[in-house]
Amino acid sequence: MIFGGLTLFFVLGGIISSALKEMQLEYQLWAILGASPRQISRLVGVQLMILGLLSSIIGYFISLITVAPFYYLLQKNLGSDWLPTVPFKFSVLILIITSGIIAVTCFITGFIRTKKCLKQLDESKKTKQKFLNLSNLLTTVCLIGITIIIISILISSPINISAHPSIITNAEIQPLYFTLILLITLQLSSGRGLFPWIIFIMTKYLPTNKTAIGGTAQKQAIANSERITTTIIPLLIVQTLLVGLYELLFGFTSPNQIDIQNVVVSFIVYVGAPLILVIANIISLTMLNGRQQINNLVQLTQLGFTKLDLLKERLSENLIIFAVLLVASVFNSLILFTILALICFKTGVSLNISLLNIITISCVGAIITGIILTIIDWYIILQHHYCID
């Protein structure tokens, strides 16, 4: 619930920001006609609340139809010890609670995001400074928390349980779990401010900017840094969850003692919901940015880019995204691996996974992301070639 909730709030905020950007001219017109930022924010919040309410009601009934067969299929393969029989029945109370939470979340998120966007259009440095102060505060707390965890492990007395690794308790595993939560919170708090800067730095040193197409991709990546950040951070959260769960499941136990059923259930429970949200985020952002994408491709075509040049340009732009995601995910993996290695050292338990395995997970995740984003961009180019030409 914690991991899925954090991912949900960021994904929802990113989608709303993209939607507000698409409707920016309409909001400016409302402001010219006399509507105050608070009135516009309230109007957008109510619109999103109605959409959230309708979507949650539809989603609840869809879940009643789809969850039960999927759950019983897993139960059949994994056994009732891991997945006990649970009745999936219609409940008015659950429907009201679910719809209410989603509707209120949509209203609050829409209201705050709209107000923030409108004040940024008015170049309100005070509001921006408040937002930065909150982000900096959370970032500082997370960094201090991770530092305290590392120091506490280092100064703790060794507990030699190597002869009986099965007795390792939550007290020894908790530092890794808390580090995982802090890393995810750190990504959410500092990502919006940090990733545009990383993108700017990366574009200077990547070899793609030595050609005309690569130089255009560099400028495009910098201009679209906000959209890229909205795409990268949920993906980074899922990768961090995968690495953390991999370490929790395999780091303290030898391969021949691993319970495969436990592994399957754990991945479904901890990573399943965030992964579904990330997929929904990519689809939603692709739909929201479709018109802007086509307009951008038309402009590049007017500047002399051929269809092949457009394909290469999008590939170069996604290489930048791949590099940024890879660097960030490797950084997170190194922190988690360091915590795991320190715990194993202090408890005398053998470290059953290598740093190479952890980095491989980060590389594979970044490669898959780059391929998926490139396929989406190429599909848009090939599908709308008549508009571009």
State in Å, rounded, how far the first CA of the chain is from the last one: 48
Residue ranges, the chain, pLDDT below 70: 1-7, 9-10, 13-14, 17, 20-22, 24-25, 117-134, 159-171, 206-210, 254-257, 287-292, 384-389
pTM: 0.75
State whether residue 302 is helix, strand or coil. helix
Q: How is 106-172 classified by DSSP, letter by letter?
A: HHHHHHHHHHHHHHHHTT-HHHHHHHHHHHHHHHHHHHHHHHHHHHHHHHSPP---TT-GGG--HHH
pLDDT of residue 127: 45
Can you read off the two tokens belonging to residue 371?
Answer: 């391929």
Q: Please choose, from the candidates 36, 40, 11, the residue with its C-alpha nearest in 3D space to the C-alpha of residue 26.
A: 40
DSSP class of 161: -
Cβ atoms 183, 335 nearer than 8 A: yes
Residue 131: the pLDDT is 46
Residue type, 233: I
pLDDT score, position 306: 81
Rounded to whole angstroms, the Cα distance separating 232 from 190 reads 13
Given a contact cutoff of 8 angstroms between Cβ atoms, the answer to whether 317 and 221 are in contact is: yes
Contacts 24+ apart (CB under 8 A), 214-218: 214/316, 216/300, 216/305, 216/313, 216/316, 217/313, 217/314, 217/316, 217/317, 217/319, 217/320, 218/316, 218/320
